[in-house]
Structure 1
Amino acid sequence: MSGKVAIVTGSNKGIGFAIVRGLCKKFDGIVYLTSRDVERGKKAVADLEKEGLHPSYHQLDITEDKSIETFRDFIKQKHGGIDILVNNAAIAFKHNATEPAAVQAEQTLAVNYFAVLNTCEKLFPLVKNGGRVVNISSSAGHLSKIPSVALRNRFKDPNLTIPELSELMQQYIEAAKQGTQAPEWGNSSYAVSKVGLTALTMIQQRMLNDRDIKVNAVHPGYVDTDMTSHKGPLTIDEGAAAPLFLALDADDSVKGQYVWYDKQITSWERDTRSAY
């Protein structure tokens, strides 16, 4: 099969689900809703079909090599390539979580940074020249969330490599295990994971410039989802607006950027925005 293909990871609920909904309405191609749990994924597809929309479904657990490789091979064989990839799958511990900081650090970064990186490394060869990648970051992914000036300088180094960034992420996990992370890294594993994802976005853009692939990170806003314990003031469709803008409508000059939920390019280094 030829034609255009869009993929949204972790999209059986929340912002990912709303991104699939928006793509089904606006994207001239096939849209893949993916999820770790097959039954939840198929229920999400059925819910969208009741709205007259027709996403395709495939299982994808970004924490499992075999799952990513099975999905990659399926897409390659059936479609030959990817036009839009939205990296949405993520986890967050609740504010009142009782797990030790070391556990939260290791598990959060395993999904939000290392699993996303692994997924990208396996799927990027299929992204077509001129394609678009949207990494769902957060206001928590703003560089100002890292207290240490020295660390911030390393994250924003224009020559930072992926192995060096991954080593920084591992250093945070080790600091959390030692209980020494707070002064330099802060107290939020989620923030560190999203700072890492945003830094990864900048590196990926540099690496993919010669293929005219646009890679951007986006803060979707404080959205009413399971992840926010339904405290966010924005609906999931409002949270999907900026990611959909980057996937479909942003000018080709928008690449390697950190974009706010109002679709405006925002400084990743200078804290010029209110939190939500």
Structure 2
Amino acid sequence: MESKVVVVTGANKGIGFGIVRGLCKGFKGVVYLTSRNEELGQKAIAELKKEGLNPNYHQLDITAASSIEKFRDYLKEKHGGIDILINNAAIAFKNKAIEPVAIQAEQTLFVNYFSVLSTCNALFPIVKNGGRVVNVSSSAGLLNNIPSLALRKKFSDPKLTIEELSNLMRQYIEAAKHGTHAAEWGNSSYVVSKVGLTALTKIQQRLLESRDIKVNAVHPGWVDTDMSSHKGVLTIDEGAEAPVYLALEAPDSVKGELVWNDKRIVSWTGNETN
């Protein structure tokens, strides 16, 4: 494990910080804590080093193509690629947010779906064969959170392409702009973004099968973070357990799945568990 390289996005606080901590304790490879804000990222690194851990830092703003490309080039030159990518960076508007639904839809999907997709498109070519990708989703990512049966069928189509999925995401944004989204899509842009991310996970697994790369989505649980307004019942270290498990310990047979915070594989339709 000593030569393996792991990248965690959005990791200066919250679950991402917990994931980095868990990874640093779990193996002897190179762990990159990344964040959009370099000052906050360096503070996180300093805190972990006080605990006797030794993560690396690199600035990464997943919403900026230049930042993603710079990081990709650095990783390729420094390490020849990476072994594990954990896509954790995300945003969520509060229930009392005053921004119009159209703005919430556009910004949430831009970060939680389109920017994750851009990051994957840039970094997947340097993920080494046999590597692992963990997309941090949510219980919101269960398909039955989408009211429309017709939409659910589109999302779960085993032949769905990334282009078609991205078009579905754009359709939601347009519906939100016109105020016609609620009946089919529901009232949560965060839900749509995480359903999209879980659907993307399954497509990515199909596309990367020939390279023996395992791609999974994970619900880390209801964690005490800024995003949950500190109402979550789990610590960030507890929220990190399932993502770290998928990164380091899960059997190779676990791929293209949605995994719950207790490490169970669940049906993303929300109707059954394994």
TM-score normalized by the length of structure 1:
0.97
Q: Distance in 1 between matches of 2:167 and 2:74?
A: 32
* Offset from partner CA, 1:173-230 (integer Å, 9 cap, x none): 0000000000000000000000000000000000000000000000000000000000
Q: Distance in 2 between matches of 1:65 and 1:32?
A: 19
Q: Distance in 1 between matches of 2:224 and 2:260?
A: 17
Counterpart AA for 2:23? L
The number of aligned residues is: 272
Query: How far did residue 272 of structure 1 move?
Result: 4.1
Query: Is there any run of 5+ residues in structure 1 with no aligned partner, and where?
Result: none
* Offset from partner CA, 1:126-181 (integer Å, 9 cap, x none): 00100000000000010011000000000000000000000000000000000000
Match of residue 28 from structure 1: 28
Match of residue 68 from structure 1: 68
Root-mean-square deviation over aligned CA pairs = 0.9
Match of residue 215 from structure 1: 215
Q: Distance in 1 between matches of 2:113 and 2:270?
A: 22
- SS of the counterpart of 1:242? helix
| Identity percentage of aligned residues | 72
Query: Is there any run of 5+ residues in structure 2 with no aligned partner, and where?
Result: none
- SS of the counterpart of 1:228? coil
Counterpart AA for 1:184? E
Q: Distance in 2 between matches of 1:127 and 1:39?
A: 27
Match of residue 252 from structure 2: 252
Q: Distance in 2 between matches of 1:83 and 1:65?
A: 21
Match of residue 89 from structure 2: 89
Match of residue 38 from structure 2: 38
- SS of the counterpart of 2:6? strand
Counterpart AA for 1:107? Q
Counterpart AA for 1:58? H
Query: How far did residue 3 of structure 1 move?
Result: 2.0
* Offset from partner CA, 1:24-54 (integer Å, 9 cap, x none): 1112210000000000000000000000000
Q: Distance in 2 between matches of 1:168 and 1:23?
A: 34
Q: Distance in 1 between matches of 2:179 and 2:27?
A: 47
Match of residue 124 from structure 1: 124
Match of residue 115 from structure 1: 115
- SS of the counterpart of 2:132? strand
- SS of the counterpart of 1:3? coil
Q: Distance in 1 between matches of 2:8 and 2:264?
A: 22
Match of residue 98 from structure 2: 98
Match of residue 173 from structure 1: 173
- SS of the counterpart of 2:268? coil
Q: Distance in 2 between matches of 1:149 and 1:27?
A: 44
Counterpart AA for 1:195? V
Q: Distance in 1 between matches of 2:185 and 2:272?
A: 20
Q: Distance in 2 between matches of 1:115 and 1:101?
A: 20
Q: Distance in 2 between matches of 1:157 and 1:126?
A: 28
Match of residue 152 from structure 2: 152
Counterpart AA for 2:53? L
- SS of the counterpart of 2:160? coil
- SS of the counterpart of 2:61? coil
